[in-house]
Amino acid sequence: MFWKNYHAHTYRCKHAKGDAVHFARAARAGGASVYGMSDHAALPDNRWNNVRMAHQELNDYVAAVHYARTEVPEITVLLGMECEDIPEFRSYYKEELLGRRHFDYLIGAGHYTPLEGEWLNSFSELTNARALRAYSDHLAEMMVTGLYAFIAHPDVYGACLDRWNAEAAACARDILAAAAETNTPLEINGNGLHRHPIHTSEGTRVPYPWKPFWELAAEYPVTVICNSDAHRPEDALRGLSELHAIAEENGLTLADLSYLEPPNQAVA
């Protein structure tokens, strides 16, 4: 089979290395047919700039993905961005990125969770029922916009909690119901496989993918997508077989994102 991967970063986000062409070459060598670049989106006000490209780098990023396309024509290279859903930037996503600049797709991601005028870090601060509710509400709201081809690592709050409990399950159910309702694919994300493991009295686990989340997903008519979320070219396709195994074990349906591929780019 040919791998398809829609989530990868470049050096511009300041916590990854390599550029689009390096990922595309690694993806071709690893047997991919489709490779989507999706660096952390440049934001017009340069907010949270320590983990994303500056707005001034946008032209350069688009050019780098186009260059990868011409350098690695054997595979389909897609132009994407991983976006925080911020209401005042939705028109920028829609009109500037998807519109004027012809991005192939956007990923919706909740690295930050809005709660009463503050932004919580979703990797460390979703530790109680109120924060978890804010997170599921945030994801549900971004799904309703229809701007995002899928939602990145919805189970990222596995990094915040010692164990699966009633609040974690309620949060998962709210996210899964919203995904089913809006027909938005959810991502089983491979980056958590390489993060610091969580040590609990029940043993050690990766922060995400969080298995109980995906077991619960089987109860909902949702689709899933497996992505490496690579931050280094050598990780371009890392973890994909493990992620696909999680989908398979739970009988989850894979989303078909082939509609994102421009027809003139289809692999012969």
State the residues that interact with Zn ion by CB under 5 A.
82, 229
Q: Provide, rounded to whole angstroms, the least separation between the CB of residue 191 and Zn ion.
A: 6
Could you tell me the smallest distance in angstroms from the CB atom of residue 4 to Zn ion? 16
- Cβ of residue 38: shortest distance to Zn ion, in angstroms? 7
Spatial distance between the Cα atoms of 82 and 27, rounded to a whole number of angstroms: 19
Helix extents (H) in the chain: 20-29, 58-71, 90-91, 129-144, 166-182, 211-217, 240-249
Cβ nearer to Zn ion, comparing 167 with 229:
229
Distance of closest approach, residue 15 Cβ to Zn ion, in angstroms: 6
* Residue 11 vs 67, nearer CB to Zn ion: 11
Minimum CB–partner distance for residue 225 and Zn ion (Å): 13
Crossing angle, helix 129-144 and helix 166-182, to 10 degrees?
10
- Crossing angle of helices 58-71 and 20-29, rounded to 10°: 30
Beta-strand pair 118-121/150-151: unpaired
Shortest Å, Cβ 162 to Zn ion: 24
- Of the candidates 55, 224, 185, 210, the one whose C-alpha atom is nearest the C-alpha of residue 123 is 210
Instruction: Output the residue with the shortest Cβ distance to Zn ion.
Output: 229
Q: How far apart are CA 242 and CA 193, in angstroms?
A: 9
What lies within 8 Å, CB to CB, of 232 at 6+ separation is 16, 17, 18
Of 104 and 229, CB closest to Zn ion: 229
CB of 17 or CB of 199, closer to Zn ion = 17
Question: With respect to Zn ion, which residue has the nearer C-beta, 84 or 229?
Answer: 229
In this complex, which beta carbon is closest to Zn ion, that of residue 5 or of residue 136? 5
Give me 152's structure tokens.
């990145």
DSSP-derived secondary structure letter, 236: T
